[in-house]
Amino acid sequence: MIAAPLPPDGNLGNGYHVEHRSIKQVAQDENETLVWEVKGPQGKVVVRFGTPTSDVSGTQRFYRSAKGDVLLADRVSSSMGMGVDTWVLTLFHLAGGPPVQVESSDWGPDGVNERNGRIEVLVGDWAWPTFGKPKESLHFVGGWFAYDGDRLRPTTPWLARPLLFSFDAERGASSHEGFWYSARWLRPGKGRPYLGGDPRVGKETAPRVKGKLADVRPEGGGVRATLGSPLWIFGSDGPPEGVTGVTYVGEAGVLMPLGYIPANPKASWEGRRAELATYADFKILWLQTP
């Protein structure tokens, strides 16, 4: 069931409301960020998080599920040319706790569902895979993920659809009131599943490293961990010397969105059995289902 957006007045229901303010980041580029605060019936802040500022109009939408999950979909940029929109999707619960954030390209109002009182979101991206025909063509890829406390859980395999003339025309026709309706682009019969969620996956170039993740801790915009030897997962500055860099993390046979990190990596990943798969240009850390 597609979830309906809340009114744009910041009222989340049951006495909860959200406010935001703009502040300067402490960085060389001096970009601004929006700080969001969710306040409960007594005025106490229960959730706080930040998103980039945006000059895109009609940028923010809130959704709430029956069990108190909330999604803030915030369009932070729109490119020239194809007009690809970049969204930051922030999911949290009114009971509090750290939020989960992930980026999605060309997200639209049909990209949020409510199932059994919980929120599911479509995470999409444009990629240049090398499988099938035509080779090296631009594809829209996407998969559905459920909000599960402080983490996302994959609910469908990733699908890919090449940007042929027919799809390009359909994409243009699907724009409505400034939104792309991208979930319909991957409706049954239009997208194809692909291995692990990344169509570029080829042959592995080294034996898999297997074991349990240990010493999990956030660091440098990513996560440090140990799987026999040190790992650097999604670090913004690249892995330090002697530390293996991990490009993707997968769960339940499906790759998680690029750069996704659970709200509490240690609680979600510490002690999990895992396998590190090595390919020519990247590595995938496969986590077994807990």
CA distance 74 to 58: 9
Examine residue 134 and say whether the peptide bond preceding it is cis (omega within 30 degrees of 0).
yes
pLDDT at residue number 1: 65
pLDDT one digit per residue (tens) for the chain, 290 residues = 667 788 777 888 889 988 876 655 444 444 567 788 899 998 898 888 888 776 665 578 899 998 899 999 988 888 888 889 999 999 999 988 889 999 999 999 999 999 888 999 999 999 876 554 545 678 899 999 999 888 898 888 888 898 989 999 999 898 887 789 999 999 888 888 765 445 455 678 899 999 999 999 988 778 999 999 999 998 666 777 878 889 888 887 788 887 888 888 999 999 999 999 988 778 889 998 76
Give the distance, in angstroms, between the CA of residue 108 and the centroid of all CA atoms in the same chain. 14
The residues with which 201 forms a beta bridge, in sequence order, are none
Q: Which two tokens stand for residue 41?
A: 């019936």
- pLDDT (tens digit per residue) in 159-205: 889 898 999 999 989 888 778 999 999 988 888 876 544 545 567 88
Dihedral over Cα of 260, 263, 264, 268: its sign: negative
**Angle formed at CA 265 by CA 259 and CA 270, multiple of 5 degrees:** 125
Beta bridge partners of 64: 70
Tokens 């939408």 correspond to 61
Q: Is the distance from CB of 199 to CB of 264 less than 8 angstroms?
A: no
Cα–Cα distance for residue pair 111/145, rounded to 1 Å: 10
